[in-house]
A and B are shown apart, each in its own frame.
Chain A
Amino acid sequence: MTSVAESPTVAGEACTDDYLSGGWSIRSWLLTVDHKRIAWLYAVSITVFFFFGSAAALLIRLELITPAGDLFSAEEYNRLFSLHGIVMVWFFLIPSIPATLGNFLIPLMVGARDMAFPKLNLLSWYIYSLGGLFTLAAVIAGGVDTGWTFYTPYSTLFSNSAVLAAAVGIFIVGFSSILTGLNFVVTVHTMRAPGLTWMRLPLFVWANYATALIMILATPVLATLLLLVGLERGLGIGIFDPALGGDPLLFQHLFWFYSHPAVYIMILPAMGVISEIISCFSRNPVFGYTGMVISIMAITLFGFVVWGHHMFVSGQSMYAGILFSFFSFLVAVPSAIKTLNWTATLFRGRISFTAPMIYALSFLELFTVGGLTGIFLAALALDVHVHDSYFVTAHFHYIMVGGAVTAYMGGLHFWWPKLTGRMFSRAWASTAAVALLIGLNLTFYPQFLLGYAGMPRRYHSYPDDFAILHVLSSLGAGVLAIGYLLPLIYLSWSLRRGEPAPPNPWDARGLEWQTMSPPPVHNFKETPVVTGGPYEYRE
Chain B
Amino acid sequence: MILESARNFCKDTSPIEQVRELLESSQGYEDGVWKQLVGLGWTGIAIPERFGGSELGIEAVVPIVESMGRSLSATPFISCTLAAQVLLRAASPEQQQRWLPKIVEGQVATLALLDNEDWGANSTSHQLSDALVLTGEKWFVDDAVTAELFIILTQYQGSPRFVVVERNQLADTAIQAHALIDETKRSAKVDFTGVSVTADAMLSAKNTDKILGECKLMGALLVAAEAVGTTASCLNLIIEYLNTRKQFGKLIGSYQALKHPSVEILNKMEGARSQIYHAATLFEDSQGVIDRDVEVACRMAKASANDTLLYAGDRAVQFHGGMGFTYECNAQLYIRRAQWSQQQFGDSAHHRKRLAPLLLG
Q: Do A and B come from one complex?
A: no
